[in-house]
Structure 1
Amino acid sequence: MSSSGESNEERDIVRFDLFELKDVPGKGKGLIATQEIQPGTCLISEAPLFTTAEIQSSDTERELVRIIKSLPRDSQRAFLSLHNNNPGREPFSNIVRSNGYPLGPSSDVGGIFVKIARINHSCLANTQQAWNTGRNQETVYAVRNIKKGEEITIAYTIGGTSAERKSRMKQFFGFECRCELCSRSGKQLRTSDANYTRMAELDDSIGDSGRVRKTPEKALSDCRELLDLYRKEKISDARLPRLYYDAFQICIMHGDQARGREFALRCAKEWTICQGNDSEDVLEMLDYADFPSSHGGFGGSMKWEQSIDAIPRGKTEEEMEKWLWRLD
């Protein structure tokens, strides 16, 4: 139940038919798939046990004690059983720091989700978590095929070389990452680190609005190269729809509504896998697919001016890819 007395259990979706809580060597407890899980499957949709918006004074620890005491006993036990990265002083505050998720990417309010908190980290996670405003719940969706017996994982942090990721995990979460990606060695590790370094460079270039405005061909080419690297590294989380959104913005900035529509549809498809078809991101991108010119960045230049009607018909998949990425 929430601290307001409203039952979370009646609203939560927890697919216990798809996974179970088991001991995981070196990690304590974790969620293990009991059958094969397809991409786009919702595993958990959970309302917060409480949120940091309920803190009413600057004495955070005292406020958290008050909030926890107001919860039912089983909810108190669930909270106190969560991992604490920094045991010692301010135990309640440190449990929140160790397990809290923001209620959306730009929110300064965090929530505690005791079921989702049982999901361990991997730098190459097989699920994506996100806040669903319509449901007022944090969701977890499978983003790739998960085999029976495979651990269900979330990425606590993404990007950077293996050494950089391990350093962040040690600093913020108190453990050394030994996931599939960080356990690579030799040539495989060097190749992966080089790919991740290049991905960061491309992401920075794509985010350079001046470059996008002056040389959109290069910016779109960067998106294509980044997509290829994502595929090589088997990345299928929220980075993928964000990439398609970048490509969408590049096209509509220069008046190309045809390619803008196609990229918006691809973005919506990937967001659906990551967040479900009722997420704000999906609904927004479907609107942009119908009306690309409604985006605030439309028509900064009309260098590539095309209407939606200019989408080619009768092309093969390969021909369509060449057209979309302006390779023809």
Structure 2
Amino acid sequence: MKAAAYRLTKIKGKGMGLVAARDLKQGSLVVSELPVLFIPGKSNDLLVQEEFAKLHPKKQRQMMELFDVNSTHGGAKTPEGVFITNAYRCPLGNALFPTAARINHSCAPNLTMTHREDTQGRAMIRTACDVREGQELTLCYTDPWLCRQERHEYLERMYDFTCKCSTCSLTGEAMRESERRRERAAVLRVKVAQNLAMCLEHSTPEDLLTEVEEALDIARTELFCEPTIPLMSERAMVLALLCKKPELAQKYADETVRVRLVTEGGHKGLERFRQYAKCPSSHPGAMALGVGSLPAESPDLSAAGRVVPPCYSPMSVVPIEGKGMGVVATRHIIRGELILDEAPLLSLTQLDANLIGGSGASIGSLLLDKLQRISPAQRAAFWQLRETSDSDVGSAARASSIFMCNSTTGADDRMHVYLFGCRFRHNCVPNVLGLDTLSKKNHMRYRAMRDIEEGEEMTVAYVIDDHNFTMGKEELDTLLEQRRVSSCDCELCSLTGPALARSRRRRKKMQALYDESKNYYQPGQLPKLKELISLIEEDIQSPFLVADIHTMALFTALEDEPRSDAAGYHALEALKCKMLSEGDHMGLEQAKAWAERPALARGEKGSTCEYYKPLEFPYVDRDPDMPFAVALRQHEEDVQRQAEEAQQKKAAKKARSKSKKGGQKKKNKGRRH
């Protein structure tokens, strides 16, 4: 068995700390531990107290042995103070790791910490460089790119100590040179994090490559193996390809894999980076900018233009055998999760778009004019989209064909082309829903309509008629032809024999139930609406459509069962479905009010239906950074776990009672003899 990588000991002037128990190579796993206490979203004292009270006494003692910065000023040590002093920010909240909390700070740390979904929230701490036996192990508590004064101010305010690490102990010219490097790197880091296509509008690839290489050199000198290095080396790889320097691109592709192995260890997510190392031009950033043929995946899925590492991207555009290009999930995606938030690449008014049916040259000329107003990288990506004209790149005919094949009509009746959104293929029972957001300059937001497994194709419905459940195959193919799409071959359209007959009967029943229930105030329809909801959830699985039916059920319940909680149930379910399909936004204030007091749905402040229940987590009181879909899944899992624990306790109690009765019978039997 391998000896422990560290030992806990007293460090002069620092209290307790960790030192290397043996020589450690760069990338060695030092600590792998689950949190003793996890607080989702933003932590608050009350929540910390509640969660602390649930801990086993042994874990409570382990936690209270840690440092509380408040106690240095005469205050009492409290669970809240210990948590705030020692917790680390994680993807979904804040977590306290007992061993990691013992690791002291350095502005040039020799450890890195990562959190991955496939490690169940574990803190994975590895060496950023070779470490000698007996050398102290350190992490960085602050942003390492800050200047010394800013670092010191933060550490004194949050942890009440002045850093005296090797970097902060520099003097004279060495100190000034280190400060200059970090200040320069902080400026360069902002550029590296910007959208590459936007950067290329103002700088040449050669200039950008020089800046990224400079930032990399500083990071290697000052910080050994800082987690942003892989992102920088990825950017350098793409820029090297744009500069037609394949050997340099290969160097940075190899560095990306090497540094990720050091900071993250070996895991499934590294396979794609190994593929990039074999063929750098297959990287999505390179392909989207015209270095390759087609984007392999979105290089940037964020609304703010922040670079999202490909290993966290939920989607990938890949060739699908016999079907052309399509989108697949790169990881497990939960129902309601935001997959893509994208601004339109090109837009036309409906009046302009109508020219497509008449003068193709007119619409093509208009598109060519609009194409001149976007960046070269965006133009290159547009010309690579699907089309059916076989015309030359740059021609009006090809531009018109591409627009017709890939455009979507938005909520404002304008037609838009979304560079990555148009890669979703059609399915009559899609697992993704795209909704246009007028409040955000026609951004299209794509969300999962159900759980999607890694590697599963993600699809949308090109022909949207939520209230026509019985559309025939011929009618569907005619509508798809307008999008220059061949006949649909999804599972629903491929049914034959008894399976097809059953599907048609189910769809006809759904249509009949919907047609009967169109009137929100029609009495006696609540059982039919419940049946319709059940059929839609089983067949179509569309929270967007189910939200409408729950709203119908809300109005019907107010009339039919005013003294029951049926109206409250349907109001809350309608809100849940809206938030799953639209996300949380200001437009849902009415739905939230109805969920709290259903009688408001018919404009009554007081009535026989005086049901009132304030909204709770996950509908409100969530961390702003926690998406509703994630909070809902967490809540559902908690409810299920509590139900299972209650069932287990009930079964155990029943077993004890049965055992006790059995023992009593044996005792009585012995007495009779």
Q: Shorter-normalised TM-score: what interval? A: 0.7 to 0.9
C-alpha displacement of 1:51: 1.2
* Structure 1 match to 2:265: 276
Among all aligned residue pairs of Structure 1 and Structure 2, give the percentage whose two residues are the same amino acid: 23
C-alpha displacement of 1:297: 3.5
Contact 1:38–1:142 (Cα < 8 Å) also in 2: yes
C-alpha displacement of 1:189: 0.6
Equivalent position SS for 1:44? strand
* Structure 2 match to 1:66: 50
* Distance in 1 between residues matched to 2:272 and 2:62, nearest whole Å: 36
Equivalent position SS for 1:52? strand
* Structure 1 match to 2:123: 138
Contact 1:255–1:298 (Cα < 8 Å) also in 2: no
* Distance in 2 between residues matched to 1:69 and 1:16, nearest whole Å: 35
* Distance in 1 between residues matched to 2:194 and 2:96, nearest whole Å: 35
Equivalent position SS for 1:66? helix
Equivalent position SS for 1:199? helix
* Distance in 1 between residues matched to 2:5 and 2:30, nearest whole Å: 8
C-alpha displacement of 1:236: 2.0
* Structure 2 match to 1:50: 37
- Cα deviation 1:36-62 (Å, max 9, x = unaligned): 111010001111112113x9xx99433
Which amino acid is 1:171 matched to? Answer: R
* Distance in 1 between residues matched to 2:64 and 2:21, nearest whole Å: 27
Which amino acid is 1:132 matched to? Answer: R
Which amino acid is 2:80 matched to? Answer: S
Which amino acid is 1:245 matched to? Answer: E
C-alpha displacement of 1:98: 1.6
C-alpha displacement of 1:144: 0.5
Which amino acid is 2:237 matched to? Answer: F
Confirm or deny that 1:286 pairs with 2:286: no
Confirm or deny that 1:177 pairs with 2:166: no
C-alpha displacement of 1:68: 1.8
Which amino acid is 1:17 matched to? Answer: A
Which amino acid is 1:149 matched to? Answer: G
Which protein is bigger by CA-based radius of gyration?
2
* Distance in 2 between residues matched to 1:231 and 1:60, nearest whole Å: 37
Task: Mark the CA change 1:288 to 1:110 in structure 2 (over 3 Å): closer, same or farther.
Answer: farther
From 69, 80, 93, the equivalent of 2:80 is 93
- Cα deviation 1:213-241 (Å, max 9, x = unaligned): 54111111112122222343353221322
Alignment of 1:232-251 (within 5 A): 232-233=221-222, 235-251=224-240
After alignment, is 267-276 or 239-248 more displaced?
239-248
Task: Mark the CA change 1:255 to 1:187 in structure 2 (over 3 Å): closer, same or farther.
Answer: closer
* Distance in 1 between residues matched to 2:17 and 2:65, nearest whole Å: 13
Q: Which has the higher contact order (CA 8 A, sep 6+)?
A: 1
* Distance in 2 between residues matched to 1:59 and 1:204, nearest whole Å: 28
* Distance in 1 between residues matched to 2:43 and 2:28, nearest whole Å: 40
* Distance in 2 between residues matched to 1:50 and 1:142, nearest whole Å: 25
Task: Mark the CA change 1:292 to 1:228 in structure 2 (over 3 Å): closer, same or farther.
Answer: closer
* Distance in 1 between residues matched to 2:293 and 2:26, nearest whole Å: 34
* Structure 2 match to 1:124: 108
Which amino acid is 1:36 matched to? Answer: D
Which amino acid is 2:153 matched to? Answer: S
C-alpha displacement of 1:78: 1.0
C-alpha displacement of 1:26: 1.4
From 165, 170, 176, the equivalent of 1:190 is 176
Equivalent position SS for 1:246? helix
* Structure 1 match to 2:62: 78
* Distance in 1 between residues matched to 2:222 and 2:264, nearest whole Å: 21
- TM-score relative to the length of structure 1: 0.76
Equivalent position SS for 1:184? coil
* Distance in 2 between residues matched to 1:102 and 1:252, nearest whole Å: 36
Contact 2:87–2:96 (Cα < 8 Å) also in 1: yes
Confirm or deny that 1:221 pairs with 2:210: yes
C-alpha displacement of 1:64: 2.2
Equivalent position SS for 2:37? coil
- Cα deviation 1:188-231 (Å, max 9, x = unaligned): 11111111111112223333443345411111111212222234
Equivalent position SS for 1:51? strand
- Cα deviation 1:161-185 (Å, max 9, x = unaligned): 2222111211222211111110111
Contact 1:18–1:37 (Cα < 8 Å) also in 2: yes
C-alpha displacement of 1:27: 0.9
C-alpha displacement of 1:254: 8.0
- TM-score relative to the length of structure 2: 0.39
Contact 1:255–1:305 (Cα < 8 Å) also in 2: no
Which amino acid is 1:143 matched to? Answer: A
* Structure 1 match to 2:188: 202
Q: How many residues align?
A: 285
* Distance in 2 between residues matched to 1:96 and 1:256, nearest whole Å: 50
Task: Mark the CA change 1:212 to 1:83 in structure 2 (over 3 Å): closer, same or farther.
Answer: farther
Equivalent position SS for 2:115? strand
Contact 1:212–1:250 (Cα < 8 Å) also in 2: no
* Structure 2 match to 1:151: 136
* Distance in 2 between residues matched to 1:102 and 1:288, nearest whole Å: 30
Contact 2:128–2:224 (Cα < 8 Å) also in 1: no
Contact 1:86–1:94 (Cα < 8 Å) also in 2: yes
Contact 1:102–1:110 (Cα < 8 Å) also in 2: yes
Which amino acid is 1:199 matched to? Answer: A
Flag structure 1 segments of 5+ consecutive residues without an equivalent. Answer: 1-14, 308-328
Equivalent position SS for 1:233? helix
Task: Mark the CA change 1:62 to 1:228 in structure 2 (over 3 Å): closer, same or farther.
Answer: closer
